[in-house]
Amino acid sequence: LYTAPDSCEGRCGEPFSEEDECHCDPECGTRHSCCEDHERHCGPHGFSSSRDSITDRELLELSEQLYGADHNKARPGDIALNPQHLAGPDETGDKQDRSPQPLYKYVNEELFSKPTYASFIKLLDNYQRATGREEEVTAEELREQEHFLQEVMRTELMKILFVFLQGKNRYSSEQEFVADLKEMWFGLYSRGDGERDSSGFEHVFSGEVKKGKVSGFHNWIRFYLLEKQGAVNYFSHNFNGPWDTYPDVLGLQFSWDGFYKEVGSAFIGCSPEFEFGLYSLCFLARPGRACHLSLGGHRLSVQTYPWTKS
């Protein structure tokens, strides 16, 4: 249902991009740069029609639609940030706390009572952050996963995403889409020696510790809650939008119980369904590549990484 970056499945006719491992555009044959399965999918008798590929223009248009449909995002008065020190390129790796105050001065916690926020927050304590330690998933945690998926699928944002993907013949039913989201985000895989110690959700939203460093951890709600508990210490930022509305984008340095994140990045103020939907779109449309988007007229990219080792 989503393709490896070395396949033409669902990519026939897409424009040439130097970022791609191999290519599926009509001229790839003359450049000798086609993916191995180009003929099988994109030849005269291929079964992956070009009309089902997702173009760069469609990604820009759809991401703007999703941005406009994020009705649960924070309003300007809901969050007050205190970014403090702007770190230069030579400062991000030196582990110096140059910001004595917390990053968040204020968050309107009424946001967290909204159904998608409340069901999202319940998932955050389901993981052991250390890689190499097998995750044990309880029946209650499985119910929490199901509940979160039900809540996000009730939103206009996720319905827009599903209709688009269904139109691209990625899914025949919403049930099939939800089943794939569950596997994509909550399916366990191994980062170490065979232990099923990681998942997409744990890495992106909750955060992991690998070889003494923070890995993933891109969610603003998770950061705020841990900072409030004293488990996260904000050091500095190396990039700040700042856009005039939420979600904003922040690049930041921080310590999590003594483990360091040299360059983290996060959308600030978006709803859980916005991030969940946007990252799912990028993973399906541009696996292993940069996914170029537009939010409120601002261009940005999300880099995806398919896990192929186990």
Per the annotation, the verdict on 32 as an active-site residue is: no
Cβ neighbourhood burial of 13 (10 Å; 0-12, 13-18, 19+)? middle
- Rounded to the nearest integer, the mean pLDDT of the chain is 91
Per the annotation, the verdict on 182 as an active-site residue is: no
CATH class of 1-53: few secondary structures
For residue 288, pLDDT over 90 is answered with no
For residues 8-31, give the mean pLDDT. Answer: 87
Secondary structure of the chain as H, E, C letters: CCCCCCCCCCCCCCCCCCCCCCECCCCHHHHCCECCCHHHHHCCCCCCCHHHCCCHHHHHHHHHHHHHCCCCCCCHHHEEECCCCECCCCCCCCCCCCCCCCCEEEECHHHHHCHHHHHHHHHCCCCCCECCCCCCCCHHHHHHHHHHHHHHHCCHHHHHHHHHHHHCCCCCCHHHHHHHHHHHHHCCECCCCCCCCECHHHHHHHCEEECCEEECCCEHHHHHHHHHHCCEEEEEEEEECCCCCCCEEEEEEEEECCEEEEEEEEEECCCHHHHHHHHHHHHHHCCCCEEEEEECCEEEEEECCCCCCC
For residue 221, pLDDT over 80 is answered with yes
Catalytic residue from among 41, 73, 203, 237: 203
49 φ, ψ (degrees, to nearest 5) = -70, 150
- Range of weakest confidence among 41-50, 113-122, 239-248, 296-305: 41-50
pLDDT band at 1 (very low <50, low <70, confident <90, very high): very low
- Report pLDDT for 86: 97
Q: State the amino acid at position 3 in one-letter form.
A: T
Q: State the amino acid at position 114 in one-letter form.
A: K
- Range of weakest confidence among 41-50, 54-63, 138-147: 41-50
Starting at the earlier edge strand, list the strands of the sheet with 232-240.
208-210, 213-215, 259-268, 248-256, 232-240
pLDDT in tens, 165-194: 999 989 999 999 999 999 999 999 887 777
Q: Start-end ranges of CATH 4.10.410.20 in the chain?
A: 1-53
Per the annotation, the verdict on 218 as an active-site residue is: yes
Cβ neighbourhood burial of 190 (10 Å; 0-12, 13-18, 19+)? middle
For residues 221-233, give the mean pLDDT. Answer: 98
Instruction: Yes or no: say if 155 and 116 are a contact pair by the CB < 8 Å rule.
Output: yes
- Report pLDDT for 77: 94
Catalytic residue from among 41, 210, 218, 237: 218
C-alpha angle 270/279/263, rounded to 5°? 75
Rounded to a whole number, what is the largest CA-CA distance in the chain? 64
- Range of weakest confidence among 15-24, 145-154, 293-302: 15-24
- Report pLDDT for 184: 93
pLDDT in tens, 232-259: 999 999 999 878 889 999 999 999 999 9
pLDDT in tens, 86-96: 999 999 999 99
